[in-house]
């Protein structure tokens, strides 16, 4: 008769705490909780509540991953802020603020200890080219900024290899793309096909994605998606839900977008997954949100933070765990 020991080479172990890391199919007995347990993988993505931030706001910049994230600047409603907060996977801590002036709609890229902020909207209705670098402790203003002042652009990349694409000036929505090498911005020949601002933008300097549209010709949103290969932007398969002011994270071959709003201005919980070719509707957000933070995570492990729900500014964050992530299940009988 086939046994667990015969298959795996060892008997079911009795342990006081669940093992880590897990191997799919692994079985053990937890003698502290008096339960047999099994290591499996998730078959669909899930959203779960994360820590609350100290300053509610929307249209902030962000960088990092699910458990090592950074958010900075943003709109607090009547004004803008320079506030910066750091996340350790459990709680948010207020750290050194950005340099003045306060701004919102700024782009963000990089990691929790090496982040980049660029552009943004300044009251009353003007824009900035300002670029700042974060070293894990404080912000430093870069001597040169964007070539065109912009807010609501798509951000991608790292502190030393970043991309800014599309966005809005005080009067127009240009379709320009700029790259950053750690010290200077360069306008690239590549331009996005659909001018847009306040959309899901993410990826790397040579492999980025833009999804969703807010523009004068698409005031209720759009399903339009474009992919960047380091040389040019290509229109690819559209999202299932038309939206604007949505956000996302990942790469141009494995991404996730969520939230936003569209026709009739309902705020969405809809989430979609991108596989490099097409979009698939997946697990919805626990509550509607828009205008939160782009780019904090991957298709399998990410973070949505801050935003607006149609009624009030948010200080909440929610964590995404994608399909294929390890999970512990308790073995029960019925």
Q: Where are the domains of the chain?
A: 4-41, 50-320
Q: d(Cα 64, Cα 260) in Å, to the nearest integer?
A: 21
Prediction pTM value: 0.87
State percent of the chain over pLDDT 90: 78
| φ/ψ bin of 291: left (φ > 0), alpha (ψ from -120 to 50), beta (otherwise) | left
Over range 303-323, report the average pLDDT.
96
Q: End-to-end CA distance of the chain: give it in Å, rounded.
A: 24
Residues 6+ apart with CB under 8 A from 311: none
Strands 317-321 and 301-305: antiparallel
Q: Residue 30: how many CB atoms within 10 A of its CB? A: 18
Q: d(Cα 226, Cα 329) in Å, to the nearest integer?
A: 39
> Two tokens at 331?
């073995």
Residue 202's pLDDT is 98
Q: d(Cα 320, Cα 315) in Å, to the nearest integer?
A: 17
Q: Is the pLDDT of residue 326 over 90?
A: no
Q: d(Cα 40, Cα 319) in Å, to the nearest integer?
A: 20
> Two tokens at 5?
């020991």
Residues 6+ apart with CB under 8 A from 74: 55, 57, 58, 59, 60, 61, 80, 81, 83, 104, 106, 306
pLDDT digits (tens, 9 = 90+) for 64-99: 999 999 999 999 998 999 999 999 999 999 999 999
Q: State the greatest distance between any 2 C-alpha atoms of the chain, in Å, as a whole number.
A: 77
Q: How does residue 4 score in pLDDT terms, banded at 50, 70 and 90?
A: low
Q: Residues 145, 129: contact at Cβ < 8 Å?
A: yes
> Two tokens at 198?
């306040």
Nearest CA to 273 among 89, 122, 47? 47
Nearest CA to 258 among 294, 208, 213? 294
Q: What are phi and psi of 290, to 5 degrees?
A: -150, 165
Residue 37's pLDDT is 87
Q: Is the pLDDT of residue 9 over 80?
A: no
Q: Residue 1: how many CB atoms within 10 A of its CB? A: 3
Q: Residues 215, 194: contact at Cβ < 8 Å?
A: yes
Nearest CA to 277 among 238, 222, 242, 323? 238
298 or 265, greater pLDDT: 298
Q: Residues 174, 184: contact at Cβ < 8 Å?
A: no
Q: Residues 191, 178: contact at Cβ < 8 Å?
A: no
Q: Minimum mean pLDDT among 139-153, 202-216, 256-270, 307-321: which range?
A: 256-270
Q: Which superfamily does 50-320 belong to? A: Kelch-type beta propeller (2.120.10.80)
Q: d(Cα 277, Cα 56) in Å, to the nearest integer?
A: 36
Q: d(Cα 23, Cα 173) in Å, to the nearest integer?
A: 49
**In the Cβ-directed half-sphere of 269, how many Cα atoms lie within 13 Å?**
9
pLDDT digits (tens, 9 = 90+) for 168-177: 998 888 899 9
């Amino acid at each position: 008769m086939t046994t667990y020991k015969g298959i795996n080479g060892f008997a079911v172990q009795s342990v006081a705490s669940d093992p880590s890391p897990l191997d799919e199919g692994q079985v053990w007995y937890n003698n502290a909780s008096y339960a047999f347990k099994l290591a499996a993988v998730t078959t669909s993505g899930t959203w779960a509540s994360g820590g609350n931030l100290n300053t509610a706001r929307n249209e902030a910049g962000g960088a990092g991953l699910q458990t090592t994230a950074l958010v900075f600047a943003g709109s607090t409603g009547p004004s803008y802020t320079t506030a910066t907060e750091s996340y350790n996977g459990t709680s948010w801590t207020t750290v050194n603020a950005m340099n003045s002036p306060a701004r919102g709609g700024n782009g963000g890229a990089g990691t929790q200890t090496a982040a980049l902020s660029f552009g943004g909207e300044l009251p009353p209705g003007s824009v900035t080219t300002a670029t700042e670098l974060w070293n894990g402790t404080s912000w430093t203003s870069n001597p040169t900024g964007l070539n065109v002042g912009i807010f609501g652009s798509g951000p991608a990349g790292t502190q030393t290899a970043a991309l800014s694409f599309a966005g809005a000036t005080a009067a127009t929505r240009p379709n320009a793309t700029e790259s950053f090498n750690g010290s200077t911005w360069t306008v690239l020949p590549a331009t996005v096909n659909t001018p847009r601002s306040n959309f899901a933008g993410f990826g790397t300097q040579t492999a980025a994605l833009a999804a969703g549209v807010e523009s004068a010709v698409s005031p209720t949103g759009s399903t339009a998606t474009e992919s960047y290969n380091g040389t040019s932007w290509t229109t690819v398969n559209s999202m299932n839900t038309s939206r604007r002011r949505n956000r996302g994270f990942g790469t141009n071959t494995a991404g996730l977008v969520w939230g936003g709003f569209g026709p009739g201005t309902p705020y969405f919980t809809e989430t979609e997954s991108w596989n490099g070719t097409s979009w698939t509707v997946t697990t919805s957000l626990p509550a509607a949100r828009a205008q939160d933070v782009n780019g904090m995570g991957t298709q399998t492990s990410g973070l949505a933070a801050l935003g607006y729900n149609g009624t009030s500014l948010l200080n909440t964050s929610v964590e995404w765990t994608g399909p294929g992530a390890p999970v512990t299940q308790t073995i029960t009988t019925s």
